[in-house]
Structure 1
Amino acid sequence: MEKLIAVIGPTAVGKTKVSIELAKKLNTEIISGDSMLVYKDMNIGTAKPSSDERSNITHHLIDILEPQADFSVVDFTALASQHITNINQKGVIPILAGGTGLYVKALLEGYQFNPTPSDEKLRIQLDDLAKKHGNQYLHDRLAAVSPDTAARLHPNDLRRIIRALEIYYLSGETVSQNKLMEQHILLYDAVVIGLTMERKLLYERINQRVDLMMSQGLVYEVEKLLNSGIPANCQAMQGIGYKEIVKYLQKEIDLATAISSIKQATRNFAKRQLTWYRKMPYIIWFDVKNFDTTNEMMETIYKEIAGKRNLRIESLR
């Protein structure tokens, strides 16, 4: 069975730093598990690891697509699984870093997704319903036929809501009801590290991160993308931080409202992530605030991994 180390947790908890430190310690490579990091030229709003952070460590599934391209959990699991195989063949254990709960769970547990083809006429009908009654109307429809799917999708994630309804209406099945593993049995020989912290502190971190994004030039980043011809309604531009700034640039809301909306949406996202991760009983949790220093936390995490992988334990200090 192929080996894997995963570092997961809510947004802004510090997964990037932990993943990079582990990769250095284990002399291995990182596979991003984030649905937004795949897009080129979308750096600030995605909190993408910097060039300096990525230096000397090979990162996969970052900057592989143009912003107007679609990317799905099916695409992710296919690409990530191939990287896991390739890295294992080099004799090292890859690190899956973050980020999107469905993506990570689907990869670890071997979800087999419904092959139902698309029906353009049905999609148009569903899209028209959303335009007439609002996105929440379609989300409520989905909740009635597939509560689990609706629970993990935001009401504004219209593209995925329409696809889930399309699958149900065409086949009578839900998006991922057929899984290779039904009892949380992992597809990989994996150690899954979860980072968490008290919610109030996490929300403070999120607010600070959004302020940092603004100071780094998020408005300019979004404006540049739009000016380059990236459609405002494409999948990537529906990401948190991007859609709010688009509304500001299109003069639908003022900047203060946009910033407040980004902070609220990100806090809600973190809450959904934590809810999603509770469905993954194999996670080994570490509360970031239980450690006085990053080195102390890293040493504890490494010892946990080493104990399960028979790795040589050395002090990180």
Structure 2
Amino acid sequence: MSASVSSTATGRKPRLLVLLGPTAVGKTALSLLLARQFNCEIISGDSMQVYRGMDIGTAKVLPEEQQRIPHHMIDIRNPDEPFSAADFQSMAKACIQDIHERGKLPFVVGGTGLYIESLCFDYQFSEGASDEAFREEQRLFALEHGPEALLDKLRAVDPITASRLHVNDQRRIVRALEVYHLSGISMSEHQHRQKKDSPYEYCMVGLTMDRDLLYKRIEARVDIMLQDGLVEEVQGLLDQGYSRDLVSMQGLGYKEIAAALTGEMPMDTAVSLLKQGTRRFAKRQLSWFRHMKEIEWVDVTEHANLLAHLNTISGIITRKFPNDESNRG
């Protein structure tokens, strides 16, 4: 019997492995090697990979790699279907239970801090409280004054949450303003007050690297996405009738390329904005992760030395999950 099954059967918390870090840091390559070594199934912790037909711009694991290592929480929504952190938490918890019941170790890999933190620490979401009139007021304000002005409103009452959100993520900006409007307490303070007791025995590893190198890797990744057909992917989504106003279509890569395809700007300008936006996104990811004291960080600046990084992470996992040899493939 594997350790993951026995831990549940004996009343111990189920084990959960987590690998996180900013975009382009190298999570995918290491996750596939670790999954084979520790007999894992991977749960995507990325808020954009849930959408079908959005493959290149979200850097999804290739289908052949998904066949070798089972992946979950990928391609579960159409681009025009809503998906929230609460949805992710509920579905990912079910995945974890199912993976354990089959004697494997669940392995969350991704870069969406709220999704991962809400899962690991069982955040309680208050989805019911809402004020539709207030939401509409904020949408009209953004139309009149621009998205930056709307984000400035959030900065005034909740600078921490504002620093983590993209200026074009109007839905989450409005929601954060709504939380403060309804409760008088900022969303970041709500999250800070959440109990840090986890339903899991977790091992959380974070990847980091020299900032200049990370930015070069981001720019190279964007170039590869373009070579792999990102423009054609976005055009296909537009041809299917998916609106540029959808939350999914506001994602990095989709928003910029769609603007070029519809004549708002030259393609080279869109690519430049995409690279700049992705660098800023990575900075926001790192800002989020830095407040998560549970992470054990591994510097992968020497990214060519994959084996050394693999050995370092393996050592962290075996220390956190002792006597777990039966989980190894």
Question: Against the structure 1 CA distance between its residues 282 and 259, is the aligned structure 2 distance closer, same or farther, given a 3 Å change threshold?
Answer: same
Equivalent residue number for residue 28 of structure 2? 16
Question: How far apart, in 2, do the equivalents of 1:151 and 1:292 lie?
Answer: 32
Question: Against the structure 1 CA distance between its residues 291 and 244, is the aligned structure 2 distance closer, same or farther, given a 3 Å change threshold?
Answer: closer
Q: State whether structure 2 residue 172 is matched by structure 1 residue 167.
A: no
Once superposed, what is the RMSD of the aligned Cα atoms? 2.2
Question: How far apart, in 1, do the equivalents of 2:167 and 2:21 lie?
Answer: 22
Question: How far apart, in 1, do the equivalents of 2:18 and 2:310 lie?
Answer: 14
Q: State whether structure 2 residue 85 is matched by structure 1 residue 73.
A: yes
Question: Against the structure 1 CA distance between its residues 292 and 231, is the aligned structure 2 distance closer, same or farther, given a 3 Å change threshold?
Answer: closer
Q: Say which is worse superposed, 285-294 or 192-201, in terms of deviation.
A: 285-294
Question: How far apart, in 1, do the equivalents of 2:192 and 2:210 lie?
Answer: 34
Q: Percent identity?
A: 46
Question: Against the structure 1 CA distance between its residues 140 and 314, is the aligned structure 2 distance closer, same or farther, given a 3 Å change threshold?
Answer: closer
Return the letter of the residue paired with 1:67.
Answer: P
Alignment equivalent of 1:231, drawn from 235, 243, 249: 243
Q: State whether structure 2 residue 233 is matched by structure 1 residue 221.
A: yes
Note the C-alpha offset of 1:148: 2.5
Q: 1:251-281, CA deviations, whole angstroms, 9 ceiling, x for partnerless residues?
A: 1110110111110000111111111111011
Equivalent residue number for residue 212 of structure 1? 224
Equivalent residue number for residue 272 of structure 1? 284
CA contact (8 A) 2:43 2:72 kept: yes
Equivalent residue number for residue 41 of structure 2? 29
Unpaired segments of 5 or more residues in structure 1?
Answer: none
Helix, strand or coil at the partner of 2:43: strand
Return the letter of the residue paired with 2:203.
Answer: V
Residues 249-260 of structure 1: pairs in structure 2 closer than 5 A: 249-260=261-272
CA contact (8 A) 1:146 1:174 kept: yes
CA contact (8 A) 1:2 1:188 kept: yes
CA contact (8 A) 2:169 2:247 kept: no
Equivalent residue number for residue 9 of structure 2? none
CA contact (8 A) 2:21 2:206 kept: yes
Question: How far apart, in 2, do the equivalents of 1:63 and 1:314 lie?
Answer: 27
Return the letter of the residue paired with 2:281.
Answer: F
Residues 136-175 of structure 1: pairs in structure 2 closer than 5 A: 136-175=148-187
Count residues in correspondence: 316
Note the C-alpha offset of 1:184: 4.5
Q: Say which is worse superposed, 191-200 or 141-150, in terms of deviation.
A: 141-150
Question: How far apart, in 2, do the equivalents of 1:315 and 1:32 lie?
Answer: 21
Question: How far apart, in 1, do the equivalents of 2:319 and 2:246 lie?
Answer: 45
Q: 1:179-228, CA deviations, whole angstroms, 9 ceiling, x for partnerless residues?
A: 59757544421111111110111111000000001111111100000000
Q: State whether structure 2 residue 106 is matched by structure 1 residue 94.
A: yes
Note the C-alpha offset of 1:291: 6.7
Question: How far apart, in 2, do the equivalents of 1:257 and 1:167 lie?
Answer: 36
Equivalent residue number for residue 257 of structure 2? 245
Q: Say which is worse superposed, 132-141 or 165-174, in terms of deviation.
A: 165-174
Return the letter of the residue paired with 1:105.
Answer: E
Question: How far apart, in 2, do the equivalents of 1:163 and 1:314 lie?
Answer: 41
Residues 111-190 of structure 1: pairs in structure 2 closer than 5 A: 111-175=123-187, 177-178=189-190, 182=194, 184-190=196-202
Helix, strand or coil at the partner of 1:252: coil
Please report the TM-score for the alignment, with normalisation by the length of structure 2: 0.90
Question: How far apart, in 2, do the equivalents of 1:184 and 1:287 lie?
Answer: 26
Alignment equivalent of 2:325, drawn from 308, 312, 316: 312
Question: Against the structure 1 CA distance between its residues 315 and 55, is the aligned structure 2 distance closer, same or farther, given a 3 Å change threshold?
Answer: closer
Note the C-alpha offset of 1:242: 0.4
Note the C-alpha offset of 1:109: 2.2
Question: Against the structure 1 CA distance between its residues 101 and 315, is the aligned structure 2 distance closer, same or farther, given a 3 Å change threshold?
Answer: closer
Q: 1:111-152, CA deviations, whole angstroms, 9 ceiling, x for partnerless residues?
A: 222234333332221111001111122212122222332222
Return the letter of the residue paired with 2:210.
Answer: E
CA contact (8 A) 2:235 2:261 kept: yes
Note the C-alpha offset of 1:290: 4.5
Question: Against the structure 1 CA distance between its residues 292 and 257, is the aligned structure 2 distance closer, same or farther, given a 3 Å change threshold?
Answer: closer
CA contact (8 A) 1:114 1:178 kept: no
Q: Say which is worse superposed, 139-148 or 179-188, in terms of deviation.
A: 179-188
Q: Say which is worse superposed, 138-147 or 169-178, in terms of deviation.
A: 169-178
Note the C-alpha offset of 1:315: 11
Question: Against the structure 1 CA distance between its residues 104 and 52, is the aligned structure 2 distance closer, same or farther, given a 3 Å change threshold?
Answer: same
